[in-house]
């Protein structure tokens, strides 16, 4: 009897190829698509391409691919949980003056938990996605490794996965490059072989965070517009549109004129101000991180050396990670890092192995 595998199918090229590869290996593939959000009402400014980026459209693509390849396919309604765990989190983080990473939260609390739930329901041995990452068992623990294609590695967003999930996880694209995956999609005659990659957050397909927050939080702009833009000496330089519409390191769209370029260095939700400074003012020697999850070991008991990324496309830099009595960690970089942003994830590596991660609480000098 074939072993069953639950494959998260988004309607994109990566997850579709992942499903085909597993079928080719001899698994009984069951495709699962998560219905997580509703597209906002169409506006006159929407392009045809933008209007095609609806969840319903992509669900249909996944369903059609599964049918063409002979897979079972189910669409699971996770809108309520996604609203609560991801969208509400996204809004609340911005209201706290932080810059969230909803993809990490989705993978940790929604996507993989849903796939695990479906695996138990269908008696499946494994769960799989189209992520570019690898999993291996070493010294009694399941470890997470970077994908072989460094330019496509997606391990950063998976640091919140549990041992229970990693034990069942399969990453069929682990050893492939994106070009090779597209070649496989053409080989399998998939209609999404040339489909563009999504670069945006799924529930903000136009990539306009400010518009989304204004629509999702009526009267927000009127309540917070006109707060002060301060320099590092607390001198007022102008007024802002509303502190949630800015992020650490931002240079463009500040609406002020200064003799030299300035960047957002701090956001203070409590008094509705943002602080701007020079590029050097963005440099910090370390950070405090919270809400940690360790994959390579069960608990951090003493300081260790690692490399850390503070955003998805960041270069991992050497650091020392020190546990604190509060349950947080202090991360001290060998060389100061630029634009450490509260709300983003800091992820720890040792070479190609992901050790664990957490959320940045604050930058420190």
183's tokens? 């070649």
Flag whether 15 is marked binding. yes
Tokens of 223: 């309540």
For residue 13, say whether it is annotated as part of any ligand binding site.
yes
Please, are residues 362 and 287 in contact by the beta-carbon 8 Å criterion?
yes
Is 8 annotated to bind ligand? Answer: yes
Q: What is the 3-state secondary structure (H, E, C) of 132-152?
A: CEEEEEECCEEEEEECCCCCC
Q: Is 10 annotated as a binding residue?
A: yes
Cα–Cα distances in angstroms (integers) from residue 21 to residues 18, 28, 189, 221, 280, in the given order: 5, 11, 13, 48, 48
If we measure between CA atoms, which residue out of 336, 334, 360 comes closest to residue 346?
A: 360
Is 96 annotated as ligand-binding? no
**Alpha-carbon distance values, 141 to 117, 162, 178, 297, 298 (Å):** 22, 11, 29, 8, 9
Give residues with Cβ within 8 angstroms of 114, minimum separation 6: 8, 32, 34, 76, 78
* Neighbouring-strand partners of residue 34: 76
Is 328 a known active-site residue? Answer: no
The residue annotated as part of the active site, out of 20, 103, 106, 328, is 106
Q: Is 319 a catalytic residue?
A: no
What's the DSSP call for residue 156?
G
Dihedral over Cα of 341, 345, 346, 349: its sign? negative
Distance, CA of 184 to CA of 193 (rounded, Å): 8
226 assigned binding-site residue: no
Gap between the Cα atoms of 312 and 310, Å rounded: 7
Helices (H), the chain: 13-25, 48-52, 55-69, 79-82, 88-95, 102-105, 112-122, 163-168, 178-187, 209-216, 220-224
Task: Determine if residue 70 is labeled as part of a ligand binding site.
Answer: no
d(CA 343, CA 288) in angstroms, rounded, equals: 11
Q: Is 1 annotated as a binding residue?
A: no
Q: Tell me which residue of 102, 174, 69 sits closest to 131, measured CA to CA.
A: 174
Active-site annotation, residues? 106, 202
Question: Residue ranges for the binding site for ATP?
Answer: 8-15, 34, 130
Q: What are the binding residues?
A: 8-15, 34, 130
């Amino acid at each position: 009897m074939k072993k069953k595998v639950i494959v998260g199918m988004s309607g994109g090229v990566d997850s579709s190829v992942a499903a085909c590869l597993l079928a080719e290996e001899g698994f009984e593939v069951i495709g699962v698509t998560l219905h997580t959000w509703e597209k906002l009402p169409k506006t006159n400014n929407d392009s045809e391409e933008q209007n095609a980026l609806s969840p319903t459209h992509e669900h249909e693509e996944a369903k059609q691919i599964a049918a063409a390849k002979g897979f079972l396919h189910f669409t699971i309604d996770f809108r309520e949980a996604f609203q609560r765990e991801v969208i509400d989190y996204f809004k609340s983080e911005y209201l706290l003056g932080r810059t969230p990473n909803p993809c990490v939260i989705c993978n940790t609390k929604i996507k993989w938990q849903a796939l695990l739930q479906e695996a138990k329901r269908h008696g499946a041995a494994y769960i799989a996605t189209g992520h570019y990452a690898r999993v291996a068992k070493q010294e009694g623990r399941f470890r997470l490794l970077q994908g072989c294609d460094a330019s496509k590695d997606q391990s950063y967003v998976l640091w919140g996965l549990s041992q229970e999930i990693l034990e069942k996880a399969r990453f069929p694209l682990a050893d492939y490059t994106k070009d090779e995956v597209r070649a496989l999609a053409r080989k399998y005659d998939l209609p999404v072989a040339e489909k563009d990659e999504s670069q945006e957050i799924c529930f903000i397909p136009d990539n306009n965070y400010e518009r989304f927050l204004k629509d999702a939080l009526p009267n927000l702009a009127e309540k917070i517009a006109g707060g002060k833009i301060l320099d590092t000496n607390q001198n007022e330089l102008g007024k802002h549109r509303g502190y949630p519409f800015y992020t650490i390191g931002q240079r463009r769209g500040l609406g002020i004129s200064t003799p030299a370029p300035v960047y957002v260095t701090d956001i203070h939700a409590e008094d509705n101000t943002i602080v701007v400074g020079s590029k050097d003012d963005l440099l910090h020697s370390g950070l405090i991180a919270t809400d940690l999850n360790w994959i390579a070991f069960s608990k951090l008991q003493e300081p260790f050396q690692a490399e850390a990324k503070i955003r998805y496309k960041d270069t991992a830099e050497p650091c020392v990670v020190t546990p604190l009595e509060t349950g947080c960690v202090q991360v001290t970089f060998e060389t100061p890092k630029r634009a450490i942003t509260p709300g983003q994830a800091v992820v720890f590596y040792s070479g190609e192995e992901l050790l664990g991660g957490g959320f940045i609480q604050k930058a420190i000098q």
